[in-house]
């Protein structure tokens, strides 16, 4: 097996959503700040202060921006109901995961009592799952499928963490992101 590189963007300003998207698709040129700002304007064209990003213009994009960006790639973000076990996910049919977690706001080394949200992508690359958190110095190897499901279970124990499954629109439409025994039967 030859060497491979895992693409990993590191945190700049409040652009974790941008980094999570580019890390998920393993492509630096997949999205840029200008595109995400344009999506924000499209989501709230008449608002002077856009509710989908930081008022300072540094990023801090919300899930609506991520969903719209994913639509540009013919993908969907499916909110995962944490009352279910993640082992019901057919990981062979998905692009990856986006995890939303709380994050403390810091200025230098001083932690402020402001709660922010942080976006992290998790992706299977070359047979192993990687945590591509932009706040990490390097990507973090999670491991195989079993280790990744255990990692997801641990993440979902926190009421504040949210998991989104990223898949193509076709996979989402027919619920193929779920293993067959967990899919709803469609009534015609």
| 1 within some domain | no
What element of type H or E holds 151?
Answer: helix 145-156
Which of 8, 16, 52, 75 is catalytic? The answer is 16
For the domain that residue 63 is a member of, what is the CATH number? 3.90.70.40
Does 19 qualify as catalytic in the annotation?
no
3-class DSSP state for residue 103? strand
What pLDDT digit, counting tens, does each position of 138-187 carry? 999 999 999 999 999 999 998 889 999 999 999 999 899 999 888 876 55
Tell me which residue range forms the domain holding 130: 16-180
71 is catalytic: no
Q: What is the pLDDT of residues 10-19, one digit of tens each?
A: 988 878 999 9
pLDDT of residue 1: 43
110-125 vs 96-107, strand pairing mode: antiparallel
Q: How far apart are CA 4 and CA 40, in angstroms?
A: 35
Using an 8 Å Cβ cutoff, are 171 and 93 in contact? yes
- Among 103, 106, 135, CA closest to 121: 135
**Given 8, 19, 52, 118, the catalytic residue:** 118
Number of domains, the chain: 1
pLDDT per position as a tens digit, 119-145 = 999 999 999 999 999 999 999 999 999
Task: Give pTM, 2 decimals.
Answer: 0.85
């Amino acid at each position: 097996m030859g060497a491979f590189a895992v693409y990993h963007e590191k945190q700049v300003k409040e652009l974790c959503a941008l980094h999570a998207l580019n890390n998920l698709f393993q492509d630096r040129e997949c999205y840029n700040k200008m595109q995400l700002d344009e999506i924000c304007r499209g989501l709230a064209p008449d608002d002077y202060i856009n509710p989908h990003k930081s008022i300072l213009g540094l990023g801090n994009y919300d899930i609506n921006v991520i969903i719209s960006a994913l639509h540009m790639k013919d993908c969907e973000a499916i909110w995962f109901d944490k009352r279910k076990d993640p082992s019901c996910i057919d990981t062979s049919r998905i692009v990856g995961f986006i995890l939303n977690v709380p994050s403390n706001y810091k200025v230098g080394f001083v932690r402020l009592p402001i709660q922010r949200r942080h976006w992290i992508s998790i992706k299977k690359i070359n047979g192993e799952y990687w945590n591509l958190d932009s706040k990490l110095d390097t990507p973090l190897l999670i491991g195989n499928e079993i280790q990744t499901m255990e990692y997801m279970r641990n993440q979902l124990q926190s009421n504040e963490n949210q998991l989104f499954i990223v898949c193509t629109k076709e996979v989402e439409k027919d619920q193929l992101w779920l293993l067959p025994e967990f899919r709803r039967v469609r009534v015609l």
